[in-house]
């Protein structure tokens, strides 16, 4: 190996280390995972979601002809999407630990269990 090539190896290694550090910093700053929940056929799908504090769930009305609603009434926070037309999305952020139930005000038998740790 020539002397010039030997000098390039440390420079290339330093460049690789810097690139990895920048990439890992970018990954660490990505927003929290989004947990998609569908409202279709008078059911939430999935019917059970596990989150971490501060994460959110996006509830999507996937029905073609039903209006839905997503609401939470808890001691620590409340949320109400209001009427959600087909295709509408509601983002619910869970600020505290606990077990919560998301309900549909239009279809009272629809329930989504959310476990936040």
Question: What are residue 112's DSSP bridge partners?
Answer: 102
Instruction: For 27-51, write each residue's pLDDT tens digit.
Output: 343 344 579 999 999 999 999 999 9
Instruction: For 6-28, write each residue's pLDDT tens digit.
Output: 665 655 554 444 444 444 444 34
- Per-residue confidence (pLDDT) for residue 6, from 0 to 100: 62
Q: Where do runs of H (alpha helix) occur along the chain?
A: 3-28
Q: Which two tokens stand for residue 98?
A: 């606990």
Centre a 10 Å sphere on the Cβ of residue 63 and count the other Cβ atoms it contains.
17
- 116, HSE (Cβ side, Cα atoms, 13 Å): 22
Residue 76 has pLDDT above 60, yes or no: yes
Q: What is the mean pLDDT of the chain?
A: 83
* Whether the predicted model's global pTM rises above the 0.85 cut: no
- Per-residue confidence (pLDDT) for residue 34, from 0 to 100: 76
- Per-residue confidence (pLDDT) for residue 90, from 0 to 100: 97
* Whole-number Å distance between alpha carbons of 53 and 47: 19
Question: What are residue 84's DSSP bridge partners?
Answer: 68
Residue 104 has pLDDT above 60, yes or no: yes
Residue 116 has pLDDT above 70, yes or no: yes
* Whole-number Å distance between alpha carbons of 91 and 93: 7
């Amino acid at each position: 190996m020539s002397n010039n090539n030997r000098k390039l190896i440390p420079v290339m290694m330093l460049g690789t280390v810097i690139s990895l550090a920048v990439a890992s910093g970018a990954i660490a700053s990505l927003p929290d995972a989004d947990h998609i929940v569908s409202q279709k056929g008078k059911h939430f799908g999935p019917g059970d979601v596990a989150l971490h504090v501060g994460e959110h769930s996006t509830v999507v009305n996937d029905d073609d002809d039903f209006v839905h609603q997503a609401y939470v009434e808890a001691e620590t926070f409340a949320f109400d999407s209001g009427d959600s037309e087909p295709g509408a999305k509601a983002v619910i952020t869970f600020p505290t630990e606990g077990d919560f139930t998301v309900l549909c005000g239009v279809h009272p038998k629809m329930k989504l269990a959310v476990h936040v740790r």
